[in-house]
């Protein structure tokens, strides 16, 4: 459902959050390897998220990316920065015009999916997901 950029961005932020809980600041190479993402693409997405203050970065020998320990960053915020709100409001078939008055063939069914996805993203924090990673309950790469 998410674009590749958004998928990589979410995975990168989750890895960064998990590492931040251990007082570590991974660099782009470490992040890309950990989330199985091309390094140049990972760099671009992480820089975009850092510019938007979703994640932090520090330069120098002890530098890297990190997430504040008290972060309230929600999944929806990352999606909004990378993909915009089209996934929550757009047509399931990608039509420019799709509404209740002029619905596409999957309009009603996709509306339910969009509402559920939006609710999940708005109610899920990155730290909640990182905690599950830390406990070994979920995985970013098998």
Distance CA 110, CA 113 (A): 5
Whether residue 61 has pLDDT greater than 90? no
What's the number of domains the chain is made of?
1
Beta bridge partners of 58: 64
Residue 129 covered by a domain? yes
Residue 141 covered by a domain? no
- Note the pTM of the prediction, 2 decimals: 0.90
Residue 69 covered by a domain? yes
Residue 113 covered by a domain? yes
pLDDT at residue 117 in the model: 94
Residue 91 covered by a domain? yes
pLDDT at residue 123 in the model: 97
pLDDT at residue 32 in the model: 96
CA-based radius of gyration for the chain: 17
Residue 139 covered by a domain? no
Between 3-7, 89-93, 116-120, the lowest mean confidence (pLDDT) is in 89-93
Distance CA 98, CA 56 (A): 38
Domain residues for the domain of 41 are 4-134
- Provide the Cα torsion 124, 22, 10, 112; round to 10°: -20
Residue 142 covered by a domain? no
Closest CA to 58 of 21, 14, 24: 24
For the segment 9-56, what is each residue's pLDDT rounded down to a tens digit? 999 999 999 999 999 999 999 999 999 999 999 999 999 999 999 999
Tell me whether strands 64-66 and 56-58 are parallel, antiparallel or unpaired: antiparallel
Average pLDDT estimate for 128-137: 93
Query: What phi, psi does 64 have (nearest 5°)?
Result: 145, -170
Q: How many CB atoms sit inside 10 A of residue 142's CB?
A: 4
Structure tokens at 95: 């039509």
Residue 124 covered by a domain? yes
For the segment 62-104, what is each residue's pLDDT rounded down to a tens digit? 889 999 989 999 999 999 999 998 888 888 888 988 888 999 9
């Amino acid at each position: 459902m998410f674009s590749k950029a958004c998928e990589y961005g979410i995975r990168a932020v989750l890895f960064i959050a998990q590492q931040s809980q251990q007082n570590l600041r991974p660099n782009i190479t470490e992040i890309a390897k950990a989330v199985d993402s091309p390094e140049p693409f990972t760099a671009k997405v992480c820089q975009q998220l850092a510019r938007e203050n979703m994640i932090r970065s520090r330069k120098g020998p002890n530098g890297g990316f990190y997430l504040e320990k008290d972060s309230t960053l929600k999944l929806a915020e990352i999606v909004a920065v990378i993909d915009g709100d089209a996934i929550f409001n757009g047509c399931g078939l990608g039509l420019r015009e799709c509404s209740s008055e002029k619905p596409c063939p999957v309009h009603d069914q996709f509306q339910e999916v969009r509402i559920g996805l939006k609710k999940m993203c708005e109610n899920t924090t990155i730290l909640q997901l990182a905690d599950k990673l830390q406990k070994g309950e979920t995985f970013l790469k098998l």
